Structure 1
Amino acid sequence: MRPTSSGTRKPYGGTTRGLVLALDVGTTFSGVSYAILEPGEVPKIHGVTRFPGQEHVAGNSKIPSIMYYDQSGEMKAAGAEAENVTTMALAEDEGWVKTELFKLRLRPKTMKLKMNGMRLAPLPRNKTAVDVFGDFLAYLFRCTRSFIVDTHANGPALWNAVEHDIQLVLSHPNGWEGAQQTKMRRAAVYGGLIPDTDEGRSRIRFVTEGEASLHACVLNGLAADNPSGHGFIVADAGGGTLDISSYAIKATAPLVIEEIAPPDCECVFAGSVFVSRRARAYFEEKLKKSKYGTPDSLDHITKRFDETTKRLFRSDKELQFVPFGSPLDKDPTVGIRSGQLKLTGTEVAALFEPSIQAAVASIQAQIEGSGGAVKSVWLVGGFAASPWLFAQLQERLARYGVAVSRPDTQTSKAVADGAIGFYCDHHVSARVSKFMYGVEYLREFDEKDEEHVARRHRLFELPSGPKLLPDAFDCILSRGVKVKESTVFSRKYCTEVTNLSTLSVFEVEIWCYRGGNTIPKWILRNAEHFSTLCHVRADLSPLAGSATAKQGKNGKTYWTIVFNIEIHFGLTEFRARIKWIDNGKTK
């Protein structure tokens, strides 16, 4: 057993037995952790350590995020089973479609992928990105059910007792927001993990990979070694993204941690898969005149590079070899002898370099964003196991007086374990706002202002008389503000309606601005740095009875409606609501 968060976990306060599952769908590998919630007992974190197709590997807690679909769009194999020889032979004979890196398809539109000229493979027939994600969630869920039923004493009875109220924690990159969380929730419904009801959807919690990794570091006792008040960065280096978050310990008994800089929301696509993509492009160029330059050979050599050279590489001064064939494979003109491709240390280091540079730049920005409070970096995630990445970050960050360390236990499981830690322990009490959030309002027209005059064609008049311009931005929360979980941001607004029936479908759009720290005056609807965060809808028709009719400037009848918009930002999932007073009661 590993140490828990220094014994700070509280006993489970529920009255009936429960189960919480953390499904960590990674770009290249995925895993599941869970805790059985027994009333009055302190929950223990378990990992699913047996998956179909991996029975021969004891204690392996990760499976590849890969699936095969047949021509009609039905999933035929997933995970480790998708990589066995039988499946691959069948796939070739039957013309199955291989689906990988599908998580990257859910990313926000603003996040551009630098894929070295390579593209994401097309989706299977009749499937959307959400469907594919849902199929994989369903597969992980089935594997988890089998593992729990087979592993625990009275496993079948345990599963039957909890299966209609299983709590799920889904982790995602730091830069993902409400739109991506909604897609993941839809995927869970599609995969049959939850029913398509309010009760079903409420069984899902979201946590960023950065915050889940923080909880994993706490589980590993790293918080105990960190002096109170010192800032630290958790860098989760996975297959696809590098997620970076900055925190400081504010209290130790109980442990209270606060975020101290806005998380890096650019979603740095610098994970290990991009080292492999660069390697394949490099091998293609290097071997183009050789018989080993065929697509199949390149795929095989890249796979062997992934499994050996990439994982073990630690020095750019030593020759490197990619073992891929038999002693009979040779082509001295391209450096192939006895079934091995020879590379210089410098060639391999160059494949890592863009990812390392992106990581250093992102960490450097966080150090500056924290006002120099950061003194250490904790490196977790599957890519953290790379000796070269670790040594390079240590060397390049030393000039900022920042120490880099990594937990000694299995870093690749950090997100799934940490997601359960997040559910049970909830150490983070304050988060820092990533962007600016606000709503559209109507600004009174000023004929002396050039900007107003330029927008004159959009001018309209309210029934009560004033001339107004649409698309003005009212900022409710600025970027970089520390927000406690309990904080509510509220603003009062009023609107005039000429038809009371429109109140039944009253809607307010919440906008997000990512263009920096200066509050914009206007919402630019098609600009990249503006996006809709969510729509808040309410049925305000009960107000029709208490609203007083007034006569407008041109004799038209209108009603004034007053309401508040409340936004909860301090949670891992954004929430907003409309509040109004009806006959003296708050609704």
Structure 2
Amino acid sequence: MTDPEKVEITDRKIIVGIDFGTTYSAVAWAETQRPDRRVAITVWPTSKMNLKGESSDKVPTKLRYKGTDAQWGFAIPVSAPADEVVEWFKLDLDPSLQCMGTAVTFAASSGVRDVDTLVTDYISALGDHLMYTLREKLGEGVVTSTPLEFVVTVPAIWSDLAKDKMRQACQRATALSAPNAPIDLVSEPEAAAIYALHGFDQHGLDVGDSFVVCDAGGGTVDLISYTVTNLKPILSVREAAPGTGSLCGSAFLNMRFAKFLKAKLGNIEGFDDEVLADAMERFDKTVCPFFPLHDMRQFTLKDRDDDTYTIPVGGLAKDKALGINRGRYALKVSDLRVIFEPVVQEVIKLVKDQITSSRVSIKAVLLVGGFGASIYLKERLRAAIDSKIHIMQPPNPWLAIVQGAVMKGLAQSAPENLTLVSVQARKARKHYGIECKKPYDEEVHGGLGPNCTKEWCGMDGCWKVKNMVWFIQRGDAVSENEPFYTYIIWNFPVTLGRPGKLWLNVYADPTAREAPIERDENVALLCHIEVDFGHIPENLLGRKKGVDGQWYYQLRCTVEAVYLSASTRYTLLYNGERYSSVTAEYV
């Protein structure tokens, strides 16, 4: 652990972790001078005037627009009309995801704001409250003079476009857009693994043992399997298989419960949005342990079908047949099982599939996230998979992701002193590559499809065809310390003028097949990489005379790609120099 006396004031930083969740969000921070003291924000505003009105480990991911003002979190009154409250909008960042095998779109609101604006506004509110909290805890002088670094968690199953949208929303948020403040992305299950492995004191794991992390949150369920590669001086792991996941988090339990309650009580006089909101809040506290209150009985496998849970339905008249008495509805366990069943079954399937795809012996499954704290989910998993596999939940799994994000940021800031758990290598989830022109070979290209058409190359004096060149294949081990290099030769007739900004298309293929030679319907455009040659001096631009007698600019360069936990960093290498003028636009 770092000795605070050995950290210079000029090296002092504040590392902030942000877990932007589907239903609830969290913020935590730590100073590099005191890395063992990670502080989660647990007091939230209930109005603009009361910034310390609600105590909770997390804050609801909700917005409500009133004119030019935006209420958020606990500041939104429970009595607010349902059609004015915007929630679950995180799921709209990646509409390509499927909900339990079916494509689904979540209308963020009635057209009042687009999803990018919603995310920016909410992250801005989180950031403003963070800065208020830091000033309260550390003082204005320290906050003003100390650089901030942000680590934001994202679902591992998100598309690269969704992750990039999340980064851009953070960059637009006022508190996070401080000059030169880095914003790094880390996958939610990786952050959870970093926290859980450190907090669990290694759980009897040995070098070579493998385990699955199941991050069951509000919207997504993400799974990654790891193999332990080293125990000392730090715990090191590598991914055992590409991760998997789906939309089957606790938000879908809420949706199913709301649909159930409307069908059961919706026609009764007095049933309205306020009654439904009160009922939903108790449902959260009772069956989805977002609020770890000791006096709340949580739904378990041992409950009998005729047992009941009390749900408030204030204002509804007594109806013995429906189970309403003194403003309370008796929710039967048999009904709870029906509500839970399709969601739980999907999680069980995901865990089983991840265990199988790992192709190694799995010793344990770590359950994290809000839904991951469910006793019922743990019990159902316990009954569904091999009894030799341990099912474990770390302390306070609801905060595992945000705490892991802070730990990740601390390790990046001073790895020689602060690294507690290291992810040495990850498994590529897709084939990644570019399309290049290669000399035509009848034996290789003769039987290919319409995308493989011959074109004459005057520079080299031969027929060429477009070929996929894959620099990463699905399942390959990728590491932050081992960049991938793509070597490219660009030829431009001198008569057309000096080359300026050029575009390079990167493609991805998520299918579990051998990487194809030809780009087909399964190979999708991932991003455009813009390469700026405009600032490279003319005398450094290579020239070569072609077979056709014309002169060509010939640019032999390398694009360096570093694949991080949840993002990619590109750099151009040309004539031995490194240029950061490479930008990626995801599609």
- In the superposition, the TM-score normalised over structure 1's length comes to 0.84
d(CA) in 1 for partners of 2:287, 2:310 = 6
d(CA) in 1 for partners of 2:77, 2:275 = 17
Alignment-derived partner of residue 150 in structure 2: 168
- Correspondence list, 1:128-139, <5 A: 128-139=114-125
Task: Identify which of 216, 221, 228 aligns with 1:237.
Answer: 216
d(CA) in 2 for partners of 1:547, 1:205 = 36
Could you tell me which runs of 5 or more consecutive residues in structure 2 were left unpaired when the two chains were aligned.
290-297, 412-418, 580-587
Q: Is the counterpart of residue 206 in structure 1 residue 190 in structure 2?
A: no
Deviation at 1:123?
4.1
Deviation at 1:565?
2.8
Alignment-derived partner of residue 46 in structure 1: 39
Greater share of residues in strand:
2
Pairs aligned (count):
551
Question: SS at 1:467's partner residue?
Answer: strand
d(CA) in 1 for partners of 2:325, 2:83 = 34
Q: Is the counterpart of residue 281 in structure 1 residue 259 in structure 2?
A: yes
Greater mean deviation of Cα atoms: 362-371 or 444-453: 444-453
d(CA) in 1 for partners of 2:207, 2:188 = 23
d(CA) in 2 for partners of 1:539, 1:326 = 68
C-alpha contact 1:20 1:169 (8 A) present in aligned 2: yes
C-alpha contact 2:228 2:238 (8 A) present in aligned 1: no
Q: Is the counterpart of residue 184 in structure 1 residue 194 in structure 2?
A: no
Distance 1:126 1:115, change over 3 A: farther
Deviation at 1:404?
0.1
Alignment-derived partner of residue 202 in structure 2: 223
d(CA) in 1 for partners of 2:551, 2:476 = 43
C-alpha contact 1:116 1:277 (8 A) present in aligned 2: no
d(CA) in 2 for partners of 1:148, 1:476 = 44
Question: C-alpha deviations, 1:353-400, integer Å up to 9, x for none?
Answer: 22222222222222222222321011111112222111111111235x
d(CA) in 1 for partners of 2:547, 2:178 = 46
Q: Is the counterpart of residue 64 in structure 1 residue 60 in structure 2?
A: yes
Could you tell me which runs of 5 or more consecutive residues in structure 1 were left unpaired when the two chains were aligned.
1-6
Alignment-derived partner of residue 391 in structure 2: 404
Deviation at 1:228?
2.6
Identical-pair percentage: 21
d(CA) in 2 for partners of 1:581, 1:326 = 74
Deviation at 1:481?
1.6
C-alpha contact 2:23 2:219 (8 A) present in aligned 1: yes
Distance 1:323 1:437, change over 3 A: same
- Correspondence list, 1:36-435, <5 A: 36-38=31-33, 42-53=35-46, 55=52, 58=55, 60-71=56-67, 74-84=68-78, 88=80, 97-107=84-94, 109-113=95-99, 120-123=106-109, 127-152=113-138, 155-162=139-146, 165-195=147-177, 199-200=180-181, 203-223=182-202, 225-265=204-244, 267-287=245-265, 290-291=268-269, 297-311=275-289, 312-315=298-301, 317-318=304-305, 319-326=307-314, 329-399=317-387, 401-407=388-394, 409-425=395-411, 426=419, 427-435=422-430
Alignment-derived partner of residue 555 in structure 2: 561
Q: Is the counterpart of residue 489 in structure 1 residue 475 in structure 2?
A: no
C-alpha contact 1:490 1:564 (8 A) present in aligned 2: yes
Q: Is the counterpart of residue 578 in structure 1 residue 584 in structure 2?
A: no
Question: SS at 2:469's partner residue?
Answer: strand
Question: SS at 1:110's partner residue?
Answer: coil
Alignment-derived partner of residue 4 in structure 1: none
d(CA) in 2 for partners of 1:395, 1:182 = 39
Question: C-alpha deviations, 1:524-548, integer Å up to 9, x for none?
Answer: 3xx4652314514131654665523
Greater mean deviation of Cα atoms: 251-260 or 306-315: 306-315
Distance 1:517 1:63, change over 3 A: same
Question: C-alpha deviations, 1:417-436, integer Å up to 9, x for none?
Answer: 11111112342122221211
Deviation at 1:296?
5.6
d(CA) in 2 for partners of 1:309, 1:454 = 55
Alignment-derived partner of residue 3 in structure 1: none
C-alpha contact 2:12 2:32 (8 A) present in aligned 1: yes
Task: Identify which of 486, 507, 514 aligns with 2:510.
Answer: 514
Question: SS at 2:174's partner residue?
Answer: coil
C-alpha contact 1:309 1:322 (8 A) present in aligned 2: no
Distance 1:443 1:291, change over 3 A: farther
Alignment-derived partner of residue 532 in structure 1: 526
C-alpha contact 2:560 2:573 (8 A) present in aligned 1: yes
C-alpha contact 1:564 1:578 (8 A) present in aligned 2: yes
Distance 1:18 1:578, change over 3 A: closer
The one-letter amino acid paired with 2:70 is K
d(CA) in 1 for partners of 2:484, 2:465 = 25
The one-letter amino acid paired with 1:161 is S
C-alpha contact 2:220 2:249 (8 A) present in aligned 1: yes
Distance 1:48 1:12, change over 3 A: farther
C-alpha contact 2:30 2:38 (8 A) present in aligned 1: yes
Distance 1:502 1:522, change over 3 A: farther
d(CA) in 2 for partners of 1:117, 1:167 = 36
Question: SS at 2:499's partner residue?
Answer: helix
Deviation at 1:438?
0.7
d(CA) in 1 for partners of 2:484, 2:84 = 48
d(CA) in 2 for partners of 1:419, 1:205 = 10
